[in-house]
């Protein structure tokens, strides 16, 4: 089967950073589905895994942590899907990725593809939807059914993939959403997704919040830079507030006052935890993806795909990685077809 992989960890400008390869077609057993991949999307995690480092791989390493496709075959323990079903999923970072014509993935982290979306648009949803949903509703314990209605949420990097979904989920939960963005295009994108306010992260955030009537906020979701905004978050979060994080800090951070004085809780989200650790509740991701698909199909949630490249090959994946690393993308980038 065709695939795109790496054996060395190189800058994306190097043609050898991602290369076209041929690999054996895998076989499904147990809870695994063998999915014929029709489309993939690219996330910052892809670029971080691929980023330059000294080690080398004896066999090609296949990246890719978002896909949509069709079930080709099912293992003997599979109960949720049948061959021919259209599915979407984010996969498992400890296993071979989706940048291949066929991929093995555990059925418990797979959802049915939204019927109203094509494969490219569907492939743009899983990782960001799962990350935003788990962070807001399961880690930070915001009630998705409106019991926290009226409380305020500050989202750093609202126009990114995760931010685009977090804005929509938070609005459906009744929160007042304040997103950060700096360019006219990203500001408009955040407003179109439902953000009540958009402030410039390049300006002092306390002053920006005061200008729209907020001395502090009940919740903060930092989706871009834990270190860079740590002090400001500590000052802006309300007493007994909750801060959600997805980006690992590069240095040690002080977690005492004022966070201790205000009894602030810190919540980490790693979307791959359930699959990689084989947690007892890993099928929760199957449920979440099903709910997201229903919301999409009923017009209550919108997709975030902004650019599609075709076909799925090394050259186009290098282009997608380059765009992600530029830090200027809005929404998601997908690749479709082989």
Helices (H), the chain: 44-50, 119-123, 126-133, 161-172, 184-193, 205-211, 230-236, 273-277, 284-297, 314-326
CA distance 188 to 85: 36
pLDDT, tens digit (0-9, with 9 covering 90-100), for 31-69:
999 999 999 999 999 999 999 999 999 999 999 999 999
Give strand pairing partners of 30.
Answer: none
pLDDT of residue 236: 97
pLDDT tens digits, 230-280: 999 999 999 999 999 999 999 999 888 999 999 999 999 999 999 999 999
Tokens of 111: 């959802």
Q: How far apart are CA 302 and CA 300, in angstroms?
A: 7
pLDDT, tens digit (0-9, with 9 covering 90-100), for 102-113 = 999 999 999 999
Which CA distances in Å does 84 have to 8, 37, 147, 281?
A: 36, 12, 40, 26
For residue 75, with 0-12 CB atoms within 10 Å meaning exposed, 13-18 middle and 19 or more buried, which class applies?
A: middle
Q: What is the mean pLDDT of residues 72-94?
A: 98
Query: Is the pTM of the predicted complex or chain greater than 0.95?
Result: yes
Does residue 76 carry a pLDDT above 90? yes
Residue 265, classed as helix, strand or coil, is strand
Average confidence (pLDDT) over 178-186: 95
Find the DSSP H helices in 134-229. 161-172, 184-193, 205-211
Banded pLDDT at 212 (limits 50, 70, 90):
very high
Per-residue confidence (pLDDT) for residue 254, from 0 to 100? 87
Beta carbons within 8 Å of 28's beta carbon, 6+ residues apart = 34, 72, 73, 74, 75, 78, 104
Using DSSP, state whether 54 is helix, strand or coil: strand
What is the rounded CA–CA span in Å between residue 302 and residue 294?
11
Average pLDDT in the chain: 97
Which residue ranges form the domains of the chain, and what is each CATH number?
Answer: 2-125+273-336 (3.90.180.10), 129-268 (3.40.50.720)
What is the model's pLDDT at position 29?
98
């Amino acid at each position: 089967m065709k695939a795109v992989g790496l054996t060395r960890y190189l800058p994306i400008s190097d043609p050898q950073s991602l290369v076209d390869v041929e690999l054996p077609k895998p076989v499904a057993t147990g809870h695994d589905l063998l999915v014929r991949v029709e489309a993939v999307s690219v996330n910052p995690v892809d670029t971080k895994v691929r980023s330059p480092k000294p080690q080398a791989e004896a066999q090609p390493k296949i990246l890719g942590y978002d896909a949509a496709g069709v079930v080709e075959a099912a293992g003997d323990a599979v109960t949720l899907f049948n061959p021919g079903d259209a599915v979407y999923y984010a996969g498992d970072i400890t296993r071979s990725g989706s940048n291949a014509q066929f991929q093995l993935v555990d059925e418990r982290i797979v959802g049915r593809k939204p019927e109203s979306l094509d494969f490219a648009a569907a492939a743009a949803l899983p990782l960001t939807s799962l990350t935003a949903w788990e962070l807001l509703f399961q880690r930070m314990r915001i009630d998705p059914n409106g019991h926290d209605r009226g409380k305020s949420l500050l989202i750093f990097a609202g126009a990114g993939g995760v931010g685009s979904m977090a804005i929509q989920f938070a609005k459906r939960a009744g929160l007042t959403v304040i997103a950060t963005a700096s360019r006219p295009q990203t500001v408009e994108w955040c407003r179109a997704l439902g953000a009540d306010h958009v402030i410039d992260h390049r300006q002092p955030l306390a002053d920006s919040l005061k200008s729209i009537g907020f001395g502090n906020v009940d919740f903060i979701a930092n989706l871009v830079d834990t270190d860079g905004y740590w002090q400001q978050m500590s000052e802006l979060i309300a007493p007994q507030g909750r801060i959600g994080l997805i980006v690992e800090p590069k240095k040690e951070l002080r977690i005492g006052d004022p966070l201790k004085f205000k009894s602030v809780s810190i919540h980490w989200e790693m979307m791959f935890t359930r699959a990689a650790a084989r947690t007892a509740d890993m099928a929760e991701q199957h449920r979440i993806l099903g709910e997201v698909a229903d919301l999409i199909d009923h017009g209550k949630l919108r997709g975030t795909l902004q650019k599609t490249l075709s076909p799925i090959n090394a050259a186009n994946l290098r282009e997608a990685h380059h765009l992600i690393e530029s830090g200027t993308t809005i929404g998601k980038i997908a690749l479709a077809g082989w």
